[in-house]
Amino acid sequence: MTDDAIEPPELTTDRILTIDDDHFTTDSVALVTGAGSGIGRATAVALAQNGLTVAATDIDAEGLAGTSEKAAELDVPGEIVEIEGDLTDDEDVRRIVDEAAEEGAVRYAANIAGLQHISPLPEFPMEKYDLMHDVMLRAPFLVSKLVMPHIRDTDDGVGAIGNMCSIHGHTATQDKAGYITSKFGLRGLTQSIAAEGDGTLRAFTISTGYVKTPLVTDQIPDTAEERGISEQEVVEDVMLGESQVKEMMEPVDVANLFTLGFSQHGRHLDGGDLTWDGGHLTTYE
């Protein structure tokens, strides 16, 4: 297995989708959770490259600093404001949204923070289940509940909440019951926001297959052990086996979907899912 198969290349400006949008200015704030690593970091940088003020939050302060460094290196026209916080703590979530609102009009939220745990269901530790549920479903619910009034308070009520789902919000596989349960729930939350959003306050999910981030590379050894196969077989057969496109996505490919969904070009995307999975869910051999 080559490192290139799982290590993303350096993020460069030319890989970032930029869209002209009247709301993509530093007066608009996009709250991004999980912004200290992987998809969240790429999304924070990409939205700042689109001119927004990004309230970047994560439990990992060092990771957040790395995100700011990356944005500075690319000389983004927008801004990144670091807000450290733990999404399992309701008071922290309230403070995060309050601090984001001090930076401008909160129009966008990207619920991206997450974690994985590999274990057969009968042995699944309940404390892991609770943690995954708190970070990947309860926190997005609370963030949405707190952000919706801010979007409604803007001059035109335009804004959107994007939730990072997965192919595992649509289909199930072995040893990921905690993750799959949360991701299926996230689609219910998303459609509920759309049902209450009057068409200007929109919501959407993004469902990808495997993306080159630490969340994925860290699960390769555990998956190999649980299934009794090599790490190379995990990548080629388990992760990409059902996909027609035999290449893992990069974090920036996902970031670009958040930009599209938040933009005017996403204005008919409401409650729906951007299924960007290389054919994983839609085809079989």
What are the residues binding ligand NAD (CB under 6 A)? 34, 36-40, 58-60, 63, 86-88, 112-115, 135-136, 164, 166, 208, 210-211, 213-216
Residue 151 Rama label (left phi>0; alpha psi -120 to 50; beta): alpha
Q: Tell me whether residue 113 or residue 238 sits nearer to ligand NAD (CB atom).
A: 113
The residue type at 207: S
The residue type at 254: V
**Min dist. Cβ of residue 35 to ligand NAD (A):** 7
Given a contact cutoff of 8 angstroms between Cβ atoms, the answer to whether 194 and 202 are in contact is yes
Q: Tell me whether residue 27 or residue 236 sits nearer to ligand NAD (CB atom).
A: 236
Integer Cα distance of 164 and 202 in angstroms: 15
Q: Tell me whether residue 60 or residue 231 sits nearer to ligand NAD (CB atom).
A: 60
**Min dist. Cβ of residue 134 to ligand NAD (A):** 7
For 43-94, give the secondary structure using H, E and C: HHHHHHHCCCEEEEEECCHHHHHHHHHHHHHHCCCCEEEEEECCCCCHHHHH
CB count, 10 Å around CB of 3? Answer: 7
Q: Tell me whether residue 49 or residue 166 sits nearer to ligand NAD (CB atom).
A: 166
**Min dist. Cβ of residue 245 to ligand NAD (A):** 14
**Min dist. Cβ of residue 169 to ligand NAD (A):** 8
Which of 53, 231, 30 has the alpha carbon at shortest distance from 112? 30
Integer Cα distance of 77 and 48 in angstroms: 7
Q: Tell me whether residue 118 or residue 158 sits nearer to ligand NAD (CB atom).
A: 118
Which of 129, 136, 121, 160 has the alpha carbon at shortest distance from 28? 160
**Min dist. Cβ of residue 88 to ligand NAD (A):** 5
**80: which strand partners?**
54
**Min dist. Cβ of residue 215 to ligand NAD (A):** 3
Q: Tell me whether residue 135 or residue 252 sits nearer to ligand NAD (CB atom).
A: 135
